[in-house]
Copies of this chain bind each other. A is one copy, B any other.
Amino acid sequence: MRILILNGPNLNLLGTREPDTYGAATLSDLEESLRTEFDTHDLSFLQSNTEGVLIDAIQGAAELDGIVFNPGGYTHTSVALRDAVAGVPVPVVEVHISNVAAREPFRHTSLIAPVCIGHVAGFGLSGYRLAVLALEHHAERKRGAGSA
């Protein structure tokens, strides 16, 4: 499977930013760990702080088999990212490192989750791994439906 691991604003700070909340591992650690576990998949990685660059990336991944997307702070404010996800046929899974439901009220709603296939939150970096597994499962189900 060709999968894009897409990270939004401030996730480049992973490992240094509020380690109590986000842990000590960095984005490179995440990349290495996912490449090791899912070595039969074709994984690509992108992080950007700019909303437009993230939209470009989603549009550019329209032909892939899945996107694992942590939209960071744009989760709660970006209709444009929602439209990008809705505008491409690729299945998208929303991931959050922290348990956003337990933080400030403005983090409790996501503009993007309704157009994803599902979402995972609160499990630290292992959430990305669960998201890839969810995409695998989603692909199986679709193949099953297709062959039926």
Contacts and interface: CB of A to CB of B under 8 A. Distances in A.
Interface string A117-148: 11111111011011001100110010000000
Contact of A114 (B9, B13, B99): B99
The 5 A-B residue pairs whose C-beta atoms are closest, nearest first, are A118-B122, A50-B52, A73-B80, A73-B79, A101-B113
B87 A83 contact: no
Given A101-B116, A124-B141, 7 more contacts: A9-B52, A9-B55, A50-B52, A77-B78, A102-B114, A119-B120, A119-B122
Nearest to A106: B79
A122 to B, nearest CB: 2
Copies of this chain present in the complex amount to: 12
A108 interface: yes
A123 B138 contact: yes
A26 interface: no
A5 to B, nearest CB: 17
Contact of A120 (B10, B118, B138): B118
Given A51-B51, A52-B48, A113-B99, A133 B130 contact: yes
12 contacts: A9-B83, A13-B88, A49-B80, A51-B51, A51-B80, A73-B83, A79-B107, A101-B110, A101-B114, A118-B120, A119-B120, A124-B141
A137 B123 contact: yes
Contact of A134 (B10, B50, B78, B126): B126
